[in-house]
Structure 1
Amino acid sequence: MTPSDLKAIIATGEDSHRQFKQDITNADSLAAEMAAFANSEGGIILIGVADDGSTPGLTLRDVSRINQIISNAASQHVRSPLPVQTENINIGHDRIVIILTIPKGKDKPYFDKNGVIWLKVGSDKRRVNSREELCRLFQSVDQFHADELPTKAGIDRLDLLRFRAFLRDVYNLPYPESPEKLLNLLQNMNLATDDGMLNLAGVLLFAEKPEWIKPQFIIKAIRYPGNTIHVSQYIDSEDFSGTLSDIFEGAMGFVMRNLHKVQAGQNVNAPGVPEISPVVFEELLVNALVHRDYFISAPIRLFIFDNRIEIISPGNLPNNLTVAKIRSGNSNIRNPILVSFIAKGLLPYRGIGSGIKRALEEWPSIDFMDDREGSLFTATVHRH
């Protein structure tokens, strides 16, 4: 990196990926900053740069001292040790700025010496203080997934008719003849825990009245007049609960009844076709139900306005996914158990990464917003 490159970086200020430090004197404090970067998306610390962006720099003696602190912090004060890199930039007048690069961690979560887990929040950091956040860190490195979460529902909450039909149609298997064999089968299918309870995937796919067990995992749909959210005015409103199949069918029906019908060259007596192909909403709703973040206790929201339709899912895109990547067909499985069963015909799921591309092919006027700060993902379908 050249001095001019360094000036350009400093000019943009501190953010989630960039932090300024005029000096480093404490390995424990530096380790906490390193852990926060590693538990988030990685980043750089510019040492020798003040908070206001000025560059007092470091002497050669400072550089030697700080490099020793960096080495100790990365190897002994963070668990697991971090493979950090440093680069020294000469800024003139015998002064140096150290660029300390901390990669996005592959062995999350990372702890400081006191066992505290830190996350970046803007240019600052904060402690992880909830079970959901900790689970999400494990999920980001494929060590744990939300659909594996145990619930308080026993196998007696299974919808017997639904599960029997699934076994018959997909596996050509008879329904188990005893509770013991049923539990063993559910465990082998990754739908129940070792202690005999349905996991989240088992509840969402096959439980009777899943909303009694997990009332937050529903779709709340509202048709507003005009193009803004109203506090009390709406044209149509409904909450959709049940298994994922039930929720999908209900939400699709809501969208279809609130779309305009166009003649599209048909006979005047023909019923007309929807203004937007149903395939678009099939793909987007399946994507929302299967790939949302189930560590977040919130519903999916479906808003219909005069000029657009919004599907707002809890959870931003996982790991290194971006809007550009999903538009190109890239994908990352957040809930692998759900995906494995949905792909067997429970929903119109056509494969990893193909749904967004297919929706765009049918209707290019779709925008996606990945809100990492608010932990939301929004698909906006524009109406012509």
Structure 2
Amino acid sequence: MNEKELLELIENDESAELECKKSEKELPNDLWKTYSAFANTSGGIILLGIEQKGYNFFVKGVNEVSKILRDFWSVINNINKVSSNILRDDDVEVINISGKDVIKIYIPRAHRRQKPIYLGQNPIVGTYRRNFDGDYRCNDSEVKRMLADQSDFSQDEKILKNYTLEDLNKESLEKYRNRFSVLKPSHPWTTLDNKEFLNRIGAWGKDRDNNIEGLTIAGLLMFGNEWDITKEVPEYFLDYREKNDNASQIRWEDRVTSQDGTWSGNIFDFYFKVINKITSDINIPFKLKGIVREDDTSVHKALREALANALIHADYFGQRGIVVEKHKDYFKFLNPGELRVSLK
């Protein structure tokens, strides 16, 4: 980074990915909270030698560059103070601006296997995250989620004790198998019995080391009944809301939830209930594919993709369920969990 780029950076104020600190002769104590927060969120840049006055930032400079750099590397490599050093040597550089030295520290987003990056010896009390321009201590559930994400074992693969095929919604499974057969009529799986078919798609699991087999979390979520699902996944909740007039005092004109008791409440049935509702009034321009009219548009495909992703890439053990909203001029898809990759 050169002088011009740095000056342009501080003109935009502190943000979710920028923190400025005065730091003339000493390493700021709160630097490490920012290090933890950036690493556990989306990464960011810390600038030492920048003074804030009101909403403006000025280059003050660092007087003791060598001492501060030495102290920085000493602390970040001390596992009693910081859980892990995820920086390379070239992530820290000194930039001279009109005779004044500014230290730029680039902190990458930590890989899920490295998280949480925490201070001290206890991740429950020493883990931070970044919200806008502030560093906030993570609560217990946020830290436990990071620890769980370190594993390559997916919760979806967990085999449930004392669950059998009788615990699945037979109608849901039959609909799925019929769709599978229509899409892939010559596929060898179409002739398998239900248990072996479910095994092939990951809904039934076999643990040969412990000689056990049974329904997986994925199978229960996909084909189970809501009242059985919530016994294993207490926070499970699917919610579709529709409001066509943003000015209306009516809260929702149409709503589907997994808890209303009139249908299975599983993921498979929710997808088909909702996709028909959100695409029902989309304009379809006249278009031929050969001699047959094509009633599918890029908007239909995008909405199917959005709904499928919201359902597939959710942390069903998180604190908020799936929420899909259809408004007059936009759609909203929300699901619980953190991204395992950066937003970019």
TM-score greater than 0.5 by the shorter chain:
yes
Cα shift at 1:97: 0.9
Counterpart of 2:184 in structure 1 is: none
Distance 1:230 1:138, change over 3 A: farther
Deviations along 1:77-101, whole A, 9 cap, x unmatched? 32222324321122234x3111122
Aligned counterparts of 1:236 and 1:155: Cα–Cα separation in 2: 34
Aligned counterparts of 2:9 and 2:285: Cα–Cα separation in 1: 56
Q: In 2, are the aligned partners of 1:296 and 1:314 still within 8 Å (CA)?
A: yes
Counterpart of 2:84 in structure 1 is: 80
Residues 1:158 and 2:180 aligned together = no
Counterpart of 2:67 in structure 1 is: 65
Counterpart of 2:5 in structure 1 is: 5
Deviations along 1:13-53, whole A, 9 cap, x unmatched? 11121111111635864333322222222222111112331
Cα shift at 1:73: 1.7
Aligned counterparts of 1:143 and 1:112: Cα–Cα separation in 2: 25
Aligned to 1:92, which of 79, 95, 98?
A: 98
Residues 1:47 and 2:48 aligned together = yes
Aligned counterparts of 2:92 and 2:299: Cα–Cα separation in 1: 53
Aligned to 1:238, which of 237, 256, 272?
A: 256
Q: One-letter code of the match for 2:75?
A: A
Identity %: 22
Counterpart of 1:121 in structure 2 is: 131
Aligned counterparts of 1:3 and 1:74: Cα–Cα separation in 2: 27
Counterpart of 1:104 in structure 2 is: 109
Aligned to 1:254, which of 269, 277, 281?
A: 277
Cα shift at 1:275: 9.6
Q: In 2, are the aligned partners of 1:218 and 1:300 still within 8 Å (CA)?
A: yes
For structure 1, list consecutive stretches of 5 or more residues without a partner in the other structure: 266-272, 323-384
For structure 2, list consecutive stretches of 5 or more residues without a partner in the other structure: 182-187, 259-263, 288-294
Distance 1:264 1:58, change over 3 A: closer
1:134 partner SS: helix
1:201 partner SS: helix
2:65 partner SS: helix
Distance 1:194 1:51, change over 3 A: farther
Q: TM-score, normalised by structure 1?
A: 0.63
Q: In 2, are the aligned partners of 1:36 and 1:118 still within 8 Å (CA)?
A: yes
Distance 1:160 1:245, change over 3 A: closer
More displaced stretch, 279-288 vs 14-23? 279-288
Aligned to 1:188, which of 194, 206, 218?
A: 206
Distance 1:299 1:69, change over 3 A: same
Deviations along 1:131-152, whole A, 9 cap, x unmatched? 245324653x66465535788x
Q: One-letter code of the match for 1:89?
A: I
Q: In 1, are the aligned partners of 2:127 and 2:143 still within 8 Å (CA)?
A: no
Cα shift at 1:74: 1.6
Q: One-letter code of the match for 2:222?
A: L
Cα shift at 1:63: 0.5
> Map of 1:1-384 to 2, 5 A cutoff?
1-23=1-23, 25=26, 29-52=30-53, 53-59=57-63, 62-76=64-78, 77-84=81-88, 85-93=91-99, 95-106=100-111, 107-115=114-122, 116-136=126-146, 138-139=148-149, 143=152, 145=154, 147=156, 154-156=162-164, 158-159=167-168, 161=170, 170=189, 173-174=192-193, 186-188=204-206, 200-209=217-226, 210=228, 212-213=230-231, 214=233, 216-226=235-245, 228=246, 230-240=248-258, 242-255=265-278, 258-259=280-281, 279-314=301-336, 318-322=340-344
Distance 1:224 1:92, change over 3 A: closer
Deviations along 1:222-270, whole A, 9 cap, x unmatched? 33242x17553543333246222111121134335x52787959xxxxx
Counterpart of 2:185 in structure 1 is: none
Give the aligned length. Answer: 302
Q: In 2, are the aligned partners of 1:261 and 1:274 still within 8 Å (CA)?
A: no
Aligned counterparts of 2:284 and 2:4: Cα–Cα separation in 1: 58
Cα shift at 1:285: 2.1
Q: In 2, are the aligned partners of 1:148 and 1:199 still within 8 Å (CA)?
A: yes
2:58 partner SS: coil
After superposition, the CA RMSD in angstroms is 4.2
Cα shift at 1:218: 4.0
Aligned counterparts of 1:150 and 1:66: Cα–Cα separation in 2: 52
